Structure 1
Amino acid sequence: MTTLHTVSFQKTVLASLIGLCLSQSAFALQEISDEGLSNATGEGIAFLPTDMSMQFNGAHSTTSTKGNFSDITDNSNPGVGYIHLIPVGPLTKTAMDTNGDGTVNTSDRAVGKADIYLYGLALSQSNKASNVALTDTDWNNRFGKNITSWGTPENPWILKVQTALDVPNFSATSPTDTGKSDVPYLMLEAPLYNTSIPSDTATDAATNGSGAYNLKLGLWADAFVRDPSKVEGDANEFALGAMYGSASNTSRENRLRLQAIWDGFSINGSNIKIFQTLGGASGTKGISTSYNQTFGMAGVLRLNSGDSTGASSRATFTSAMRTNGSWAMDNNSTAYGKPVTFGCGNSANATNFGVARCEYRYRSRTITDTVTNGSWTAPIAANVLRLSTKETTDDSTKLTTTPAINGGVAPSFYAQPTSETAINNDGIYLYNPNINLVLGTLYQPLMLGVADDGKNISLEIARIPNKESIYKKLYTDYDNPSSTTYTGSTCNVHKCGDNGLTGYQGNNATHSSITIGSTVYDASTNSLSAEKGNGAVGISFGALKNRTGINDTRTYKQWQDQQRQIKTDEFNWTDTYRVRKYDSWCDGIFGDNCNATEVAQKYDPYSGQMSCVNNNFGGTWCDRSVVHNGTSQAIGNRNGYNANVVINKGAYSQWSYRTSGNADVGTFNDNNGAYNDFTTYNWNQQANNRDYESDRALSAANMNWDLTSTGGGSVPRTCSDLNSATCTGLANWADVTAKSAGIRGISPDPVPTVQNSFKMSPSNNFGSAVIDGLLIQHLKVTTKGL
């Protein structure tokens, strides 16, 4: 009740007040000039909530009934205060014409409207310390305890007005458009996110702000389908018939009930700005003129459960044991002379150049991973967001009631089950969710306005214009994270930009990140990815329970190959002729015994020539003269022989072996095993009989997979022990690829690098999920009336 009091002033009092106002000494609020405001950096209010919590308590006692209100201070039944979401206005013909025939009649399904009650809303601090295991009581109780200190005096909540200078506007006549202006804004800012989280078990936990990192949120919701032809309070308001115009049907009355509880999270680092957007939008290139001077918002919404990369966010499990079998050569590929055999043997007679199967040889072994009496244990200190619907007591007579309006006790939901197959294993569990959403900036605002039809509401994040001063602030160069050209960055639980304040994360990142469950963090690029191993947890239908007595075996067939390729080289017979140098007086005139006067001889004329002069008187002369050009040469006149000889020079094929890589990309040694023929001949044979080399059988070099043939010797090409882990021979073994497997006619069976390749976690564990580096380039949501 309000009581109005009136006061009568004497004329003298009134005259005095008027005179005071007219006096030159009067004080009043005065307008501050733009010049004066230009020097202002902003004003604000800091506040620090301590020993606080919030919950919606109903005004009804546990014994009251609808319409029988008790004292508003009666909180004996907490949690039944509510928010009622009511759809208003008539249904449209489009909504009611369910069969799409253009007419609304009894052949159409009945269409109702939903009434939604949000109640039991509670914000508090978790009952458990952040490193203590949560139980079914925690996951099924919407309220914990009062928040000890939501921030610190050095890091409080702040409500302030500030002006950002030189903010780029929407004008984009060219990419180098420099249009800009100042933007004043109102900002509500939560305490900044500490780079080192304070402990909630420390002696100063009541004042160090640790409670802000261990919040608890609870909520209940009831939803009903209402018959739009019935007024509120009608006995059949929820008994909507099946068809249009049909009678009420009480058997169709029902209710959807939901419980949501998030235990262990923080909103530190969040902020929201409200301002008037800048101008410059011309209506071209997707930049609507509706962007100009309208209601704009920007903010960073950070809902973090904490670091999910450590051991505390992963399950522990029994590792599998791996057994490697012995290597077995395929199809006797080292056997001699089997063209159909892969590898085509080791014999020099088994060339088979051009036959693909001869370019590879294979080996295989069996690899077995085994777990015996293994176990899988869920993390004990995981923060959880649980969404559930199953109540402990089903009462079919109360499917159209809610404590929000009908009074009565608050609902009771099933707690954590005792096993993963228990009937009460209800709800979706999201472990360690970290949600960091960047919703607009001062130069790419989030705008709330009227839709184009003038009837509905639109929510839009502005399209990024083709303007360097804007998109270079937003985009990220992942190949060069320290780039000063593209300065955009991702906001995640580890980092959110940089505001230059020591000890705190930034709040000026441009990309969003959403992770659920175990993650892997790369600090060099500030990027997150989902954990993929057996220890990953994240999303589960029903609570995760430990497993024991796990026995599992998985067997793989590992195939490897060696590879060689054809190489063609030129060759020379190195021993066909020799060059001899004689004393000049040994000319057949003074004697035939010239061996005594032989000066020098050279058996390999291709490693350099000897200088000689064909002169009977003075100097030396050559027995035979040859060069490297592979043509016929005249032999010096010696003992009556004046013949032509052929210096043999031709080409031959040999194998070049792969020394690294695999069948798809490999490195081949072009120098190993150069072919030389060191066969010698009887030098007493006449030179003209050496014109024919048909008796010299030409065969390819490097035919042996396991040996090289260089310098007339044999050097191991591969390890003799195929099972040796230190096998470092010239021809490498590599896992088969689709290319080499196809030649062999086998299907590759990839072997995991680690032995824990089979699933050990419960069947209801769907693992972790990550959306990282999300930049909203343009988003528009418009409501549409039914």
Structure 2
Amino acid sequence: MTTLNYTVKFHKTVLASFIGLCISQSCFALQELTDEKLGDTTGEGIALLPQNAYMVFQGAGANQTEANILDATKRNQDIGYIHYIPVGPLTSVVQDTNKDLSVTATDHSVGKADLYLYGLAVSKNANNDANSRLDAGLTNNVANAAIKSWGTAANPWILNVKTDNNVPDFGAGSGSVTYLNFEAPLYENIYSFDKGNNALTTKAVDSMGKDAYNLKLGLWADAFVLDQSKSEGSADQFKLGELFSTTAEDRANRIRLQGVWNGFGINGSKIQMFQTLGGADNANGMSKFYNNTLGMAGVLRFNSGDGSKLLATGITNGSVTKTQSTTNRYSTVFLGQPNTSTANHISQSVASQYRLRTLDTAYDYTTGNWTAPANLNDHVLRLSTQETTDTANLATPALNNTLAPTFNANEGIYIYNLNTNLVLGSVYQPLILGSDGKNFSLELTRIPNKAAIYEKIYTDYSNPTSSTYLGSTCNVYKCGRTDVDVENVIAGYQRSNATHSSISIGTVYSPDGGNTLLADKTAGAVGISFGALSSVVAGVKSQQIYYQLQMQQRRAVNNTWQYLQADGVTWGNAVTNGCSGAASGGGSGACYNPFNTNAAWVNIPSFNVACLSDTKLNCTASGSANTLANTQIKDASGNLVDLGYAPNVVHNGYVVGKGWGKMGWSSCAGDSGYCSNINIESGQWAVPTWGGGAKGSTLAQSVLNAYGANYTGTTWTSTADPTSGVPLGTTTLTSPMNNLGSAVIDGVLIQHLKLTTKGL
């Protein structure tokens, strides 16, 4: 049997906040409604009209005055909290992390998260600050954060009981449904469309109630994973997991989050509770559990308002150009002739050469212009996690009486102009609470196969005014159909008959008078960004460089050079002007060709070889100096350089094949095979300074700059060139790179939904 319990623990500061909210006349009031205002009101109930109201959870203390609450520098006092404590054991299904059907020491540690919600604030959005949970200051001795009137005398909050008659049940009959109805003020129809359905007019709302469309919600939270074997309050209660050790006492099983929502309203929302009708059996996907149980229905509307004009201005095109060059990176020593003899000269075993270069592709960007909308932050939901003042991983005010952290002003995810209109059930398709004796469930029932029900729910999109299918969508512009009064939808005094939901983000519009929504796809559209959006100024230049590593390689086979072919596997001699072992200078196999420039360059992903030279050159992985005299590897000063490939050592630049040298085989008298007059000047291969440790070391910045992100100090690694994904020439790459654009999910009908605790 699975038992799942949740205990909500309200701290005394929360209780004090609620009491203060109710008794403070400067913050909250019930206004008497006149007979004239009630003339069009039917039924009985309670009307609520909050005026000059705002709230914030702060910690208890002597300084908890209105002046301090509205002091922008006192947001670190927002530490009043709600503590959510998960209780009861975890099931074996959860604790069996390796899924071997048993819980043993081989499974990872598992815990449950305690959640602390701090600083909950509801107020008027007075300054569009997406990093402030409550706007500060007073104007004419009235708090800037105060909601002047949440509704009006003619459009208040309503709590009442009503009855709908002749409601079809799940079977063949019908009945009456009495429901408890709680409704926010009506969402005023402030939008109208012209005959073409494309031009939108926004009408002024009642000035007394306009603050209700410009609310601010703020909070911050800490979630900790608790070691259930420790008692609450233990110093190590959050030190859960096999990775915890005495050397990592600050390891955090915690996530910290701040949420701020500017410029939204909940008007038009409603919730109803009732006892469901009967008639359901266990056939055709229905359930007898639907009968005569607790049912709910509602419309939850969280709207930021019209987003069709949320567009960037002054948009001009940018440009992208591409250039390529090569940079020599490395070369082994030998440039002379291959030979089978080993007496007094370099042997065949070192008659080889490896060369490395990078093909450097540079994309040069020049920005166009993109000026962010002036009202960009008027209606934005921001979620952020990066704090800048409190870095203690396991510190939170509920545990150690610390202050609220300060969050980074620009980090996080920004959701602009969010409009969410969720239709959750109806009298025909209720949302029910249930249990099978073991698990708790929340279910939006199936739609019965009954025309009297589904015709009131489904929508004919080809005929929005269909008299057969009466369902419709609730969005920011229009919620339900106004051309027909659909009965028995538990509409309340707002008479909303919508059955479909919609969610829109950013710049969206309606092409058909509010029936449907479309996302704006132009370059000026905004919607979601990671980090705050900002304008792009024309003419700003930037560059992105990609490195493709390439190698050439040759080897000596008897008296002939063989070159590695383009496939990177095959060796061959067929290279134009290659050395084929022809005699020269009187000696056998005398071939002094430098490395043939027509040899293939082979792409490779990385290069990290400790040494590519023969041990006769005293080349080791540690990069000890080359001691072979008179080789053609010299730096700019004429000194021999270290030939070992040791990337943790700074190597001076060197030139392979520069000047005269003793690399030939000839019959020069008295030289026993060496000839000092062989000029291989044409084989020069210049390698710049390189090496010296990983990025971030104390190596001179000029050395690091020479290699960029492709060189780590222990290896060179290729980076892909996204040629196909970079449009060249004039382009509209003007919108900020973190602007992800707008989005719409429209006309959502939930046919059936069930959430259960089974398996937890």
Q: TM-score range by the shorter chain?
A: 0.5 to 0.7
Residues 219 and 526 from structure 1, CA distance in 2 versus in 1: closer, same or farther, beyond 3 angstroms? same
Q: What is the CA–CA distance in structure 1 between the aligned matches of 2:189 and 2:82, rounded to whole Å? A: 37
Q: What is the CA–CA distance in structure 1 between the aligned matches of 2:747 and 2:205, rounded to whole Å? A: 34
Match runs of 1:117-128 below 5 Å: 117-128=116-127
Query: What residue number does 1:645 align with?
Result: none
Of the three residues 293, 314, 317, the one matched with 2:311 is: 314
Of the three residues 509, 520, 545, the one matched with 1:520 is: 509
Q: Helix, strand or coil: the match of 1:544?
A: coil
Of the three residues 448, 454, 465, the one matched with 2:448 is: 465
Extract unaligned runs of 5+ from structure 1.
Answer: 1-39, 64-74, 129-133, 172-176, 199-203, 323-370, 417-425, 553-748
Residue deviations 1:261-294 (CA, integer Å, cap 9, x gap):
0000000100000100111101110111110011
> Which amino acid letter does the alignment assign opposite residue 316 of structure 1?
T
Query: What residue number does 2:478 align with?
Result: 495
Q: Helix, strand or coil: the match of 1:377?
A: coil
> Which amino acid letter does the alignment assign opposite residue 462 of structure 2?
D
Residues 243 and 543 from structure 1, CA distance in 2 versus in 1: closer, same or farther, beyond 3 angstroms? closer
TM-score, normalised by the number of residues in structure 1: 0.54
> Which amino acid letter does the alignment assign opposite residue 312 of structure 2?
A
Contact 1:125 1:215 in 2 (8 A): yes
Query: What residue number does 2:176 align with?
Result: 182
Residue deviations 1:118-176 (CA, integer Å, cap 9, x gap):
11111110113xxxxx4xx44333456010011111111111111112111101xxxxx
Q: What is the CA–CA distance in structure 1 between the aligned matches of 2:260 and 2:308, rounded to whole Å? A: 23
Distance apart, 1:373 and its partner CA: 6.4
Query: What residue number does 2:210 align with?
Result: 210
> Which amino acid letter does the alignment assign opposite residue 315 of structure 1?
A
Q: What is the CA–CA distance in structure 2 between the aligned matches of 1:412 and 1:547, rounded to whole Å? A: 28
Of the three residues 504, 507, 522, the one matched with 1:533 is: 522
Query: What residue number does 2:741 align with?
Result: 767
Distance apart, 1:547 and its partner CA: 0.3
Q: What is the CA–CA distance in structure 2 between the aligned matches of 1:122 and 1:394, rounded to whole Å? A: 21
Query: What residue number does 2:340 align with?
Result: none
Q: What is the CA–CA distance in structure 2 between the aligned matches of 1:758 and 1:90, rounded to whole Å? A: 57
Residues 188 and 46 from structure 1, CA distance in 2 versus in 1: closer, same or farther, beyond 3 angstroms? same
Query: What residue number does 2:51 align with?
Result: 50
- Which structure has the bigger radius of gyration? 1
Contact 1:518 1:538 in 2 (8 A): yes
Residue deviations 1:374-411 (CA, integer Å, cap 9, x gap):
31011121310000011122433xx2221234323222
Extract unaligned runs of 5+ from structure 2.
Answer: 1-40, 65-73, 137-144, 193-203, 320-364, 486-492, 542-723
Q: What is the CA–CA distance in structure 1 between the aligned matches of 2:282 and 2:247, rounded to whole Å? A: 52
Contact 2:316 2:369 in 1 (8 A): no
Query: What residue number does 1:777 align with?
Result: 751
Distance apart, 1:116 and its partner CA: 0.7
Query: What residue number does 2:537 align with?
Result: 548
Match runs of 1:286-685 below 5 Å: 286-310=285-309, 313-320=310-317, 374-382=368-376, 383-396=379-392, 399-416=393-410, 426-450=411-435, 452=436, 454-498=437-481, 507-524=496-513, 526-550=515-539
Runs of 4+ in 1 over 3 A off after TM superposition: 60-63, 75-78, 137-144, 204-207, 246-249, 319-322, 498-502, 755-759
Q: Helix, strand or coil: the match of 2:398?
A: helix
Residues 77 and 479 from structure 1, CA distance in 2 versus in 1: closer, same or farther, beyond 3 angstroms? same
> Which amino acid letter does the alignment assign opposite residue 434 of structure 1?
N
Residue deviations 1:166-213 (CA, integer Å, cap 9, x gap):
111101xxxxx4x21111101111111111289xxxxx9996200000
Residue deviations 1:60-87 (CA, integer Å, cap 9, x gap):
5689xxxxxxxxxxx9964222111111
Q: What is the CA–CA distance in structure 2 between the aligned matches of 1:487 and 1:100, rounded to whole Å? A: 49
Of the three residues 190, 201, 207, the one matched with 1:196 is: 190
**Count of matched residue pairs:** 455
Are 1:157 and 2:153 matched, yes or no? no
Q: What is the CA–CA distance in structure 1 between the aligned matches of 2:455 and 2:484, rounded to whole Å? A: 23
Contact 2:110 2:241 in 1 (8 A): no
Residue deviations 1:525-571 (CA, integer Å, cap 9, x gap):
7100111110110011001011012589xxxxxxxxxxxxxxxxxxx
Q: Helix, strand or coil: the match of 1:223?
A: strand
Q: What is the CA–CA distance in structure 1 between the aligned matches of 2:470 and 2:462, rounded to whole Å? A: 12
Q: Helix, strand or coil: the match of 2:455?
A: helix
Q: Helix, strand or coil: the match of 2:510?
A: strand
Q: What is the CA–CA distance in structure 2 between the aligned matches of 1:777 and 1:444, rounded to whole Å? A: 9
Residue deviations 1:20-55 (CA, integer Å, cap 9, x gap):
xxxxxxxxxxxxxxxxxxxx9732111211101122
Query: What residue number does 1:139 align with?
Result: 131
Quick one: percent identity of the two aligned structures? Answer: 56
Q: Helix, strand or coil: the match of 2:220?
A: strand
Query: What residue number does 1:280 align with?
Result: 279
Contact 2:312 2:372 in 1 (8 A): yes
Distance apart, 1:507 and its partner CA: 2.3
Q: Helix, strand or coil: the match of 1:308?
A: coil
Q: What is the CA–CA distance in structure 1 between the aligned matches of 2:148 and 2:745, rounded to whole Å? A: 33
Q: Helix, strand or coil: the match of 2:208?
A: coil
Contact 1:481 1:525 in 2 (8 A): no
Contact 1:123 1:215 in 2 (8 A): yes
Q: Helix, strand or coil: the match of 2:739?
A: coil
Are 1:239 and 2:247 matched, yes or no? no
Q: Helix, strand or coil: the match of 1:210?
A: helix
Contact 2:413 2:530 in 1 (8 A): yes
Q: What is the CA–CA distance in structure 2 between the aligned matches of 1:288 and 1:373, rounded to whole Å? A: 61
Q: What is the CA–CA distance in structure 2 between the aligned matches of 1:465 and 1:539, rounded to whole Å? A: 38
Q: What is the CA–CA distance in structure 2 between the aligned matches of 1:60 and 1:110, rounded to whole Å? A: 39
Q: What is the CA–CA distance in structure 2 between the aligned matches of 1:212 and 1:152, rounded to whole Å? A: 10
Contact 1:240 1:248 in 2 (8 A): no
> Which amino acid letter does the alignment assign opposite residue 385 of structure 1?
L
Contact 2:280 2:288 in 1 (8 A): yes
> Which amino acid letter does the alignment assign opposite residue 222 of structure 1?
D
Residue deviations 1:626-654 (CA, integer Å, cap 9, x gap):
xxxxxxxxxxxxxxxxxxxxxxxxxxxxx
Query: What residue number does 1:226 align with?
Result: 226
Contact 2:429 2:446 in 1 (8 A): yes
CA RMSD of aligned residues (A): 3.4
Residue deviations 1:732-774 (CA, integer Å, cap 9, x gap):
xxxxxxxxxxxxxxxxx9xx9xx99733211111101110000
Residues 374 and 190 from structure 1, CA distance in 2 versus in 1: closer, same or farther, beyond 3 angstroms? same
Choose 219-228 or 89-98, whichever is displaced more. Answer: 89-98
Match runs of 1:17-56 below 5 Å: 42-56=43-57
Residues 498 and 159 from structure 1, CA distance in 2 versus in 1: closer, same or farther, beyond 3 angstroms? farther
> Which amino acid letter does the alignment assign opposite residue 430 of structure 1?
I
TM-score, normalised by the number of residues in structure 2: 0.56
Q: Helix, strand or coil: the match of 2:103?
A: coil
Contact 2:465 2:483 in 1 (8 A): no
Contact 2:97 2:107 in 1 (8 A): yes
Residues 78 and 50 from structure 1, CA distance in 2 versus in 1: closer, same or farther, beyond 3 angstroms? farther
